[in-house]
Amino acid sequence: MASVAGAIARNVGLDLMKHSDNVIIENGGDIFLKLMNRDAIVGIFAGDSPLSYNVSIRIKCNGTPAGACTSSVTAESTALADAAATAVCNRVKRAGDIKEALDFGLRVEGVEGALIIIGDKLGILGNIELA
């Protein structure tokens, strides 16, 4: 169930690719992107954190189709990114959990990168570019 929104975004996006070179589907924080000519900047909402809306990631057009879910996990599959984001976030209760949660996320086959914000702390690992 942790990947339903991501799976829906992905399936709708793949279907729309028949009609457009550029497709972005956002479903409750789970985003499918297929871009031909330009990169996308995805802003990160992190609740009450002072970093909320002050941190963004770049999704390179040559790396799409791709999924970015809850703005914390990227993968080729939006459904996988969705499920992995849930699993990663469930491992973070305090700032000291960031490294272990990121390491876990990158061990999931198909996950390309992960980013975690808790309070005023940020951790990033893998193929994620801050914008």
DSSP symbol at 63: G
Give the number of domains in the chain: 1
Helices (H) and strands (E) in the chain, counts: 3, 9
How high is the pLDDT of residue 9? 94
- Cα separation of 114 and 127, whole Å? 8
- Cα separation of 52 and 43, whole Å? 8
**5-49 per-position pLDDT tens digit:** 999 999 999 999 999 999 999 998 899 999 999 999 999 989 999
How high is the pLDDT of residue 49? 95
- What tokens appear for 65 in the block? 């189709």
The CATH number assigned to the domain holding 43 equals: 3.10.520.10
- Residue 115's domain comprises 4-130
- pLDDT for residue 72 is more than 90: no
What pTM did the predictor assign? 0.86
- Cα separation of 34 and 36, whole Å? 7
